Amino acid sequence: MGIQRKKSDKIDSEQLALYAYHFRNRAKQYSPLSKGLRSLQLLYAFRGRLIKSKVSLSQASIEMRAVIKRNVTARFIYEKNIQDVRRLEKEIKYVEHKMLECIEQGLALAESYKLLTSIIGIAFVNASVMIIYTGNLTRFINTRQYACYTDMAPFGKSSGSSKNFQPQVSKIANKELKSLLTQAAKCAARHDPDLREYYNRKKEEGKQGWLIINNIRNKLIHRTFAVIERREPYCKDFSFLN
């Protein structure tokens, strides 16, 4: 196309069309979300907004009670905040109930949810979010892709003679899924006998806690792909494949 000195909507459209045509062999077919999955996505987003409101009001109540004492107006505001927090807690539970209903109404969603929650450490929120972000576990081919998406797969860097860069994870990732997987890993380290033994053994070897949790997160990812591939609930006798 050469150097383009003039700019207009028409020229930009032509350039975009040429670019798309040139790389048409790399295009990936778009698959819209199913009705049930779309509803689950909307409910989860609404739940997130309710939780943010609840946290904001709770923090404001704590700060007000700590700073302003023996003040009638401050007491009134504090009590109203507490009422709103309790109301939001009820609404959050109701939304979670609607999310579960949405999952149970779809055969594919219900099956995936049952398989995921059979893994120790993965409960309602983790399973729901995993289903939402992965298109009901259809967008990733293997564990490496999913680990990359959740900021757990390290990548090396090299440039010319500088080849001693230690592999690091990329910041281009889904931080929400990573956070939820971290919580799942911590839960699994407490309640899963095998993972608890693994955590304690690595601790005795002098490994850092964050490194052990990261390894457990990867184990949970492998278990996730194993149950989905086999279409069977988790069993500790599974032999996992990458």
Note the pTM of the prediction, 2 decimals: 0.81
Q: What are the pLDDT digits (tens) for 104-128? A: 998 999 999 999 999 999 999 999 9
74: tokens are 């401050």
Res. 90: pLDDT tops 90: yes
Nearest to 186 by CA among 233, 137, 220, 227: 220
Q: How far apart are the first and last CA of the chain?
A: 44
- HSE, CB side, 13 Å, CA atoms: give it for residue 46: 16
Dihedral sign for Cα 134, 137, 141, 146, please: positive
236: tokens are 């500790």
Distance CA 191, CA 189 (A): 6
Give me the mean pLDDT over the 86-98 stretch. Answer: 97
Amino acid at 145: Q
Name the DSSP class of 162.
B
Residue 64 binned pLDDT confidence (cut-offs 50, 70, 90): confident
Residue with tokens 């599974």: 238
Q: What are the pLDDT digits (tens) for 182-222? A: 999 999 999 999 999 999 999 999 998 888 999 999 999 99
CB 206 within 8 A of CB 214: no
Q: Which range (7-21, 60-74, 115-129, 217-231) has the least confidence?
A: 60-74
204: tokens are 């005795």
Q: Which residues contact 150 (CB under 8 A, 6 or more apart)?
A: 173, 174, 177, 178, 181, 217, 221
Residues written for the chain:
242
CB 105 within 8 A of CB 36: yes
**Cβ burial 225-239 (10 Å sphere, 16+ → b, else e):** bbbbeeeeebeeeee
User: Domain segments of the chain: what residues?
Assistant: 35-105, 107-153+172-242
Strand partners, 162: 159
Distance CA 147, CA 178 (A): 9
